[in-house]
Structure 1
Amino acid sequence: MDGHLLIGIAAPVTLKIVDEIDALDAPTPCTGWDVRALVNHLLHWGPSLVAAARKESLAPGPEIDHTDGDWRTLLRAQVDATAAAWGDPAAWEGSTRMGGPMEMPADLVGGMVLGELVLHGWDLASASGLDPQWDDTLVLRVYEEVARSADLGRQMGVYAAEVPAPPDAPPLARVLGLSGRDPSWTP
């Protein structure tokens, strides 16, 4: 299935998780980040991801704490804007920038966006004791996208060392392990 269609499958699950987050100070499986830090990360990079879909360059602004205000409404709006921008098939064509001068294939950036929604969605869900269910077609695509950039992601500190998962593990457990997350993590 094309990425522009998969983004429409990923976003509603992530939005449901956002609605059910219960504690901003809860730890997440994303090492060193609690829910507050992860929410701020998503809000910080979100506008740059939307701009990348539109082939515009927008460097992220200064990092600020968005969680003093109505962060849930802000995060919902950001997920919706990201899904709408990457829901356009043209977003996946050609090349784009992600807040900096380096051009990258747009489909690579789109794959990263899918990964952000699923992986960070799972991080937020796990911190809140939720068990999200994403479509296996989406999760398998995210696995392909993480595999495509895993070595570079580890060099950049985006992914931790792989957590091996058995070959017969569910697709979500395999992608979590590939991204350096322990699928059995609990707070």
Structure 2
Amino acid sequence: MKRIVIADDHEVVRSGLRAIVQLRSDWIVCGEACDGEQALAMAVETRPDILIADYSMPVMNGLEVSRRLGAMHMCVEVLILTMHESEELLTEAILAGVRGFLFKSDAKEHLLSAIDALLERRPYFTGVLLEKLLRNYQINKQNRSSVLLTSREQSVVQLIAEGHTNKSIGCILKLSVKTVETHRAAAMRKLGMSSTAELVRYAIRKKLVEP
């Protein structure tokens, strides 16, 4: 029996995904989560074969959850679902160790195939984005890598945009306030920004949070 965790901050989406997964008698939904922190804890607790995770989740997005699982050397395949068609998002997903990437609008038709592929240790990416990535990745690699925030900087920016203080960010990420301030300053320097409002707009533009 293959075990699957579903993480999305909308209950109706989780219900729809669960209904599709349960079409297969040899699969079981062993847990659900409504934010990234819960998703990570659920994955650690239940040791699923597959984690289906929304990209835009509170506290930690799906990519940060994937990074954390990779750092813990957990054998969990992550399937990221998103509403946004973005070549940059797909690039960030690959860098985060994600091997499955699917539009929510395609889930009804392609979710089972995506899970099957990941269970067989094969990647599964939405075709239109993969085509763009293969065409442009080598050309843009140098410039892209110099602009990307580190995973920790991205997490700090997301939490700032969600309204957390430096102290609460430190508690969530298990960092000192000084370290949070260092990551915040580094992110602002890389992005050429000087205010929290600019960071919030960046987070919205990059789909780290919903407006």
Larger Rg: 2
Superposed pair shares fold, TM > 0.5:
no
Higher strand share: 2
Higher RCO (Cα < 8 Å, 6 or more apart): 1
TM-score where L is the length of structure 1: 0.31
Q: TM-score, normalised by structure 2?
A: 0.28
